[in-house]
Structure 1
């Protein structure tokens, strides 16, 4: 354990978690027996674990956006995941981290902001809240996303092929896929969700992420037909990405506000899909809950 990793716990029998101050990234999530629930970042597949996406979600056309007549370069998913957050407070079961605008962020994103991430465990539930504040005297454009990668299969004895995502509502609206440049292909595709159930299979991800731009619900349960499951709540996120790599031992269930530029997009950042506008002094929060639920009888 280094000084950059902060551990929190829900007590005996509850979840425990590690949070990295680099990117305010959830670094580990374990059940009460110490079994890992989160992907470990093995570079053989993907070095991420649960990066924070800010101030954009997805890719920009040409990796650039326009604002106020000027052009700026941002990498896919923005810069927050590569920045060190400061620690505002930490307790046995809770930690709050902050990223504030500085000269480095203003060079690529000319806006004043404060982004706080709070991780809090109560028993078998982890709640994460991202609180974004406009710290400037002009409007602030932003998107935000979570990108947690859960083990697939979960560590409870069921095979990968027995795992599925069960949504709270029937997610039957057509979905989108990224193109070769990471931009949203404008050709919508039929939803692979059967009513409320998405059966997980490697073939789902040969075309990249599944991008849900018109969610009907705000929560889902992930796991096998037997054994404990994970409940994921995303009450403030209107979009969702689901992503893995063929044969990879993880699946990402990603609540988003915003998504990649559509192919051919040529507007200013204010026109980017999913961008929210915060007036001076305004705040916006996005919550995500992860709860381990016992096996259904």
Structure 2
């Protein structure tokens, strides 16, 4: 497994060819902002494609055939090809092959570009359809950030806010067996969500058709992360109670709803890409260390 390290004077990132996954995000002081895997969850920031979440029975149904498709898809477990590596970042590519077509019978190209500039890490994903028919897909980011944030004395008192959204509540959905189920309204206090392990006792918080495009993850001592995204219309929030990470996940697509089990082309919240077309998705994060 090859890794590529890049960055500037304020921020350094490391990306792996395995899954085009971010492995590290360190500030100028060497503090690590990304969860470093562990027994609670062995990943760091997987790329979700061609599904986000789960399909019923882990089966993708297309034109009368059943294909094995496990949770969050296969891209996170595939080795990508390096297209570019330099001091500013890298670009990696995944194309369809015999193995992917057994699970997902569609031609595709997935280009992932990571870059650091002016203390901001960005991830741009270009999904392309080289085929003659529609390409149905979902795409998601799944970065796990440290909780507590660097410099914070404990996990207590951390919050999430959504600048510019004007939200007073979150219109959430919960999961049953990995499938989208019950609706839930989560109140915000002064526009912020108090982060408590109990929030994730029933798995992830899914925010379909989320109106915001920015969030602010902050610790009491002043350390914070600012995240923004383009192209993604859904958001996932996840942790495991007691684990030292918080996943902040811009998505395009969600898990299948409980009770649905149909043709993948007609899956609720699926995206269709026309033949020869491409679509761009981007998210970016700026770590803000606590004042010294």
| Length-normalised TM-score, structure 2 | 0.95
Equivalent of 1:87 in 82, 86, 89: 82
Give the Cα–Cα distance (whole angstroms) in 1 for the partners of residues 261 and 109 of structure 2: 28
User: Residues 270 and 195 (structure 1 numbering): CA distance in 2 closer, same or farther, change over 3 Å?
Assistant: farther
For 1:164, the equivalent position in structure 2 comes to 159
1:120 aligns with 2:118: no
Following superposition, the deviation at residue 94 of structure 1 comes to: 1.1
| Mapped partners of 1:70, 1:285: distance in 2 | 30
Q: Render the CA deviation track for 1:85-119: whole Å, top value 9, x for unaligned.
A: 00001110110000000111011111110000000
1:148 offset after TM fit, Å?
Answer: 0.3
The alpha-carbon deviation at position 229 of structure 1 amounts to 1.0
Question: Is the Cα contact below 8 Å between 1:124 and 1:292 reproduced in 2?
Answer: yes
After superposition, what is the alpha-carbon deviation per residue over 1:114-155, rounded to whole angstroms, capped at 9, x for unaligned? 000000000210010010000111110010000000000011
Match of residue 141 from structure 2: 146
Aligned match of 2:33 in 20, 33, 37? 37
Distance 1:291 1:89 in 2: 23
Deviation at 1:39, TM superposition (A): 0.2
| Shift in Å, 1:295 | 4.9
Q: In 1, Cα distance between the equivalents of 2:3 and 2:274? A: 34
Task: Say whether residues 1:268 and 2:268 are aligned partners.
Answer: no
| Alpha-carbon contact 2:152-2:219 (below 8 Å) kept | no
Shift of 1:270: 1.9
Residue aligned with 1:104, SS: helix
**Farther-moved stretch of structure 1 (265-274 vs 240-249):** 265-274
The worse-fitting range, judged by mean Cα deviation, of 228-237 and 251-260 is 228-237
Instruction: Tell me, yes or no, if the aligned pair for 1:236 and 1:287 is still in contact at 8 Å.
Output: yes
Match runs of 1:3-18 below 5 Å: 4-10=2-8, 12=9, 14-18=10-14
Correspondence for 2:230: 235
Is 1:22 the counterpart of 2:18 in the alignment? yes
Alpha-carbon distance, 1:171 to partner:
6.0
Please state which structure has a larger fraction of its residues in strand: 2
Question: Of the candidates 220, 223, 226, which is equivalent to residue 218 of structure 2?
Answer: 223
Q: CA separation in 1, counterparts of 2:117 and 2:169?
A: 33
Work out whether residues 192 and 198 of structure 1, in 8 Å CA contact, stay in contact via their aligned partners in 2.
Answer: yes
* TM-score, normalised relative to structure 1: 0.94
Contact 2:13 2:22 in 1 (8 A): yes
* Structure 1 residue aligned with 2:244: 249
In structure 2, how many angstroms separate the alpha carbons of the residues matched to 1:50 and 1:230? 15
Distance (whole Å) between structure 2 residues aligned to residue 147 and residue 245 of structure 1: 14
Match of 1:176 in 2: 173
Separation of aligned partners in 1, 2:284 and 2:248: 12
Moved more, 222-231 or 73-82: 222-231
Residue pair 1:171, 1:217 contacting (<8 A) in 2 also: no
Q: Give the 3-state SS of the residue equivalent to 2:185 in structure 1.
A: coil
Unaligned 5+ segments in structure 2 are none
For the aligned residues, what is the CA RMSD? 1.5
Number of equivalenced pairs: 290
Q: Where does the alignment leave 5 or more consecutive residues of structure 1 unmatched?
A: none
Q: Is the 8 A contact 2:33 2:287 kept in 1?
A: no
Would the aligned equivalents of 1:172 and 1:195 in 2 still touch at CA under 8 Å? no
Q: Is the contact made by 2:216 and 2:227 (CA closer than 8 Å) also made in structure 1?
A: yes
Runs of 4+ in 1 over 6 A off after TM superposition: none
